Structure 1
């Protein structure tokens, strides 16, 4: 199997150390285009698409394998092994933050540091834990997506992006959602929004930076603070940026925080 072709891997830069960028739900590697170039002088940068997204090989999509985030973590490890990566910097947005954590636990030594952008260990409230959504709200969201992929995308993407004063950002995310195969989008959404990785956080030994937007309807400040508290020794930076995609809406702020960490 050609892992690089399966995941549409792209490599730039010339540094000795690698920096791997992983995109969130409904997106692809293009979401890093304002951030990744800033690190090419210092790192060998690695971009890829999760199977089912962007330029990945859709024929490799297996609902069983990708029935949990663990399947995506296995792909990430395979990319690392194919590229002979060791002690790389992992940068994961949204659901890919947890995918990166799972990969770091499965393959110690693959990553020397983790940068988690807008992470959430669980989206559904549970007792004293506030994930931001009730179980009913998540089920309604998923049922809406399953019934009307295009309508869901048009309604949800601008809300997720935030920054209503910059409608072009919401339009870009809407278009990205709409390009995703509807059946894959439905499946990945259910896997994402019903996942629970809270117990994995305390197992992380890799130095970790949590980047949290000041306003984010998908992953609130409370959620970011929870992730930071549960990962031993991790650091939390609250960005002035709003919305769930600071890699698009406030790339300079993301770059500055990352540079101070790596």
Structure 2
């Protein structure tokens, strides 16, 4: 029987049908509802697991631990515990933004859980480490962003949302993303933001043996093109697609474009012929 406490804690929802299971992990300041544009393309082929990290969406806030969730490993533990509660093995994983690294951490800790990793707008490190790596931000810039959360939380959310989404995308998406940021407890959001923006997980890229699909926007302020190229070089079994799009939320703004790419990537894995075999 599934562990009901874990499923309630993380507000786990199961939709779709199919022999293979697909786990979708949302990004910072978001929740599982952001996947609603992408799930229709997969719910006839997959059983889809949706959830909210503790501290996000409709998770059980009383179970939040500032110590556990001060690092990305705490969020990866959420994923591992959900998979164990549902007795999942060899599932396909799709993560957005920071969840790409969270899923990678989980897959390394527990190689039995996933058969592939799809990363939407990933970044293993948002900080610049010249000359070998440019994550897009200087430490001072990110520290100012974190400080703004204390001074003016609503202003911080309204500043970050268009930066994440891209200014050319729908106003309704901008309102939704800004509202999602604002609805998160400020203390929890700040803790998650520090883990998201200051951790450096580049060393893990060479470790994963899993086939990985990287989906990157042509114009993404948070994850510049060089990041995808860097990751593609570091991951041994990797496929990089740069989508003609703006912003950091391809699953919301360009679901049709990326669903075809994801499906083509996962078909050989679903049929027992993993990419690169």
- Same fold per superposition (TM over 0.5): yes
Counterpart in the other structure of 2:148? 144
RMSD: 1.0
Counterpart in the other structure of 2:19? 16
Kept after mapping to 2: 8 A contact 1:159/1:170:
no
**Correspondence for 2:107 among 104, 108, 123:** 104
Q: Does 1:131 align with 2:131?
A: no
Long gaps (5+) in structure 1: none
Q: Does 1:235 align with 2:233?
A: no
How many Å apart are 1:165 and its aligned residue? 5.1
Counterpart in the other structure of 1:164? 168
For 1:176-187, list aligned pairs within 5 A: 176-187=180-191
Counterpart in the other structure of 2:70? 67
Distance 2:124 2:96 in 1: 13
Instruction: Give CA-to-partner distance per residue, 1:98-118, whole Å, 9 cap, x none.
Output: 000000000012000000001
Query: Secondary structure at 1:211's aligned position in 2?
Result: strand
Counterpart in the other structure of 2:248? 244
Instruction: Give CA-to-partner distance per residue, 1:58-115, whole Å, 9 cap, x none.
Output: 1111011111100111110111111111110000000000000000000012000000
How many Å apart are 1:225 and its aligned residue? 1.4
Query: Secondary structure at 1:237's aligned position in 2?
Result: strand
Distance 1:165 1:183 in 2: 29
Counterpart in the other structure of 1:253? 257
Counterpart in the other structure of 1:191? 195
Kept after mapping to 1: 8 A contact 2:218/2:243:
yes
Counterpart in the other structure of 1:49? 52
Instruction: Specify whether residues 122 and 54 from structure 1 end up closer, same or farther in structure 2 by C-alpha distance, changes over 3 A only.
Output: same
More deviation, 142-151/16-25: 142-151
Kept after mapping to 2: 8 A contact 1:3/1:82:
yes
How many Å apart are 1:202 and its aligned residue? 0.5
- Given the two structures, how large is their TM-score scaled by the length of structure 1? 0.98
Long gaps (5+) in structure 2: 267-277
Kept after mapping to 1: 8 A contact 2:10/2:54:
yes
Instruction: Give CA-to-partner distance per residue, 1:2-56, whole Å, 9 cap, x none.
Output: 1101100000111111000000000000010010121111111000001100010
Distance 2:43 2:160 in 1: 33
Distance 2:42 2:237 in 1: 24
Kept after mapping to 2: 8 A contact 1:34/1:248:
yes
Distance 1:74 1:159 in 2: 29
Tell me the matched-pair count.
Answer: 262
Kept after mapping to 1: 8 A contact 2:169/2:253:
no
Counterpart in the other structure of 1:213? 217
How many Å apart are 1:233 and its aligned residue? 1.7
Kept after mapping to 2: 8 A contact 1:158/1:167:
no
